[in-house]
Amino acid sequence: MTVFTLPDLGEGLQEAEIVAWHVSQGDHVITDQPLVSVETDKAVVEVPTPFSGTVERIIASEGDVVAIGAPLVDIATGVAEDKGAIVGELGDGAKDASPADTPAADSPSPAPAGAGATPAVRQLAREKGVDLATLTGSGPGGAILSSDVLAAQAGSVTGDALRGVRRSMARAMARSRDTVVPATVTDRAVIHRWPAAENPTLRLVQAIAAACSAEPALNVWFDGKTRQLHSHLDLAIAVDTSDGLFAPVLRKVDIQTDLAARIADLKAAVKARSIQPEALRGATFTLSNFGMLGGERASLVVTPPQVAILGAGRIEEACLAEDGKPVVRRVLPLSLTFDHRVVTGGEAARFLSAVRADLERPTHHAKD
């Protein structure tokens, strides 16, 4: 018998959540066959079977958060000792029982739908359209209570632990709170000269690249002691999903030309949950185009070791003064939050001015 433990998944990760098992107890598996999918750092990773054998026991259940090195599954890899025609010991009058005749001790039969619910609770479930078989009771002995039915009907269950993407997001936000000294400056870009079919996200990406070239002090990592300036811009783009916040990284923005297609590919991978772990790491700056959903300005959260994040608010019309006369123009609100431990107010202001200047062009130009 060999116990297979959760392997080191790299990047200093300490744990992962079991998403789905691809094998069952009693299955014969071969080396490199998909064994289990785990979620860590907002990405789902498929762990292969390390050797051939028979699955004797699945130790970690779906939904469990397992530490690196913790046991996942028992796999029998050896050959059973040959004792002749009879395997095991038979007592007087006993007969050889096959595995199909003997239920596994740790695999109880599923409870019937609605078990542990009183008639009144069953009636409530029928009225609310709730399937009792999908509920886990919170009452004594696992009994299903009316409050469980009402919570399910409302689409919320109290007391659930954060899992997966939301757990990763919570830890990242707490780390930022404990280390970053945030400050925010705001501005707005007048964009009435943009072509009708202009892509706002693409223009923001290009403007950030131009600003990092003009003011490199914001394209930086800071570990609390050392400031590391980057020669290329690896831009994280915040993507909102029902599972939580993702930030896939657009690599080397400053030297690439197929940005629109690459942005679309990253967003599609996030939506399909096929994004790879390495595509979520190593960003040097972050863009949050929250205005696509709503909101004008924001105090954003810097993700260490990055030192800045740019937010773009809702595009709308505003009355402005030009040559002493009122005019109506389309404007794009901008919010820049930065780590004031390492970025000065002057550096932040120059960066934001460079972003605005690039956005206010009719079309983007890499250089003047």
The confidence score (pLDDT) of residue 91 equals 42
Q: How many CB atoms lie within 10 A of CB 240?
A: 14
Name the one residue in this structure whose structure tokens are 């409050």. Answer: 147
* CA atoms of 28 and 313, how far apart (whole Å): 55
Q: Taken in order 159, 239, 343, 313, is the CA torsion positive or negative?
A: negative
pLDDT at 225 over 70: yes
pLDDT in tens, 5-16: 999 887 667 888
pLDDT at 294 over 90: yes
* CA atoms of 351 and 216, how far apart (whole Å): 8
Q: Which residue stretches of the chain are H helix?
A: 119-128, 146-153, 164-179, 200-214, 259-271, 345-359
Mean pLDDT on 276-303: 94
Of the chain, the percentage scoring pLDDT greater than 90 comes to 53
Residue 296 confidence class, pLDDT cut points 50, 70, 90: very high
The confidence score (pLDDT) of residue 268 equals 93
The confidence score (pLDDT) of residue 115 equals 52
Domains contained in the chain, CATH given: 2-76 (2.40.50.100), 119-153 (4.10.320.10), 165-359 (3.30.559.10)
pLDDT at 223 over 60: yes
* CA atoms of 296 and 16, how far apart (whole Å): 36
**Which residues fall within 8 angstroms of residue 126, CB to CB, at 6 or more apart?**
none
pLDDT at 176 over 90: yes
Sheet bearing 15-21, strands edge to edge: 43-48, 34-40, 15-21, 65-67
* CA atoms of 17 and 174, how far apart (whole Å): 20
Q: Strands 316-322 and 325-339, how do they pair?
A: antiparallel
pLDDT in tens, 187-205: 999 999 999 899 999 999 9
pLDDT in tens, 78-131: 644 433 333 334 444 444 444 444 444 444 444 444 457 777 678 778 877 888
pLDDT in tens, 150-169: 777 766 455 567 777 888 88
